[in-house]
Amino acid sequence: MVNGVGKKPKILVIGGTGRFGKHVVDASIRANHATFVFTRPPATDDTEKKKILESFTSLGVELIFGTLHDYEMLLEAVKKVDVIISTLGSDPVQLELQTKIIKAIMEAGNIKRFIPSEFGMDPERVNPVEPAKAVFMMKAQIRQMIKNYNMPHTIIRSHIFQNFYIPRLGQAEISPPIYDTVGIIGDGNAQVLYVNARDIATYVIKTVDDPRTLNKILYITPRSPPPLSFQLSIAYSAYINGVQPNFNIDPSSAVEATELYPEVGYITVEEFMDSLL
């Protein structure tokens, strides 16, 4: 497979070996973009990461080894591409590292779009409990920093990942598969939006050179209907408060993915559950 053709923007994925990052890299390759991954070198005994990197290489991905603490290496990577997608993990420490990415983007001056790691629910529309509250606060701070610098960007609002919650039947604290008892969070009536990671990644890549999504929030809303852990606190906001579908999209600041890209056949909850059987 040829990695990138014509004048399609070159894409750098930071965090590309993670659970969601792998899907973004795959979507970028499928869309025939020149694709780069900035990652730490794998540890000697990290066979899983080595396999991921080998698969990337076989697809034509250019690997750039370094850390976000190595600013010169990061800056060099930024200068090679047109678009940067951050898929760093969902904890405040990792999310704060995006300030280093923003600094490099500002210095390099060549980036046409930055997509920060703000996937999931909208930090400006939820009222979560800890420890998720700290994560949403950091995401909001990064978003504000991007706006303050007038940096070209797109924010992705993907709601809840099917891949995490559906195998657990909505029970964030339980490891799948679940064979016996299923607990109901809240009264079971809150509307929740589930989107598959592969579909989220597909929409992410479609935005990179779409002027309709520049400096806007892309809401992915498929047409279907106090905890102790981070995932439980996310579940509290979604299942009890029902915050996900409870607002209208302002077209001056946001757009909706399934309206912009009707050709994407997203995976429904029913289809994903069937795949688990």
Q: Would you name the residues annotated as active-site residues?
A: 139
CA angle 18, 130, 160 (to 5 degrees): 45
Burial zone of 83 (CB within 10 Å; 0-12 exposed, 13-18 middle, 19+ buried): buried
Burial zone of 13 (CB within 10 Å; 0-12 exposed, 13-18 middle, 19+ buried): buried
Q: In whole angstroms, what is the distance from residue 15 CA to residue 245 CA?
A: 29
Backbone angles phi, psi at 241, to 5 degrees: -75, -25
Q: Beta strands 254-256 and 216-219: pairing type?
A: parallel
| Cα–Cα distance list, 60 to 22, 53, 57 (Å) | 14, 11, 5
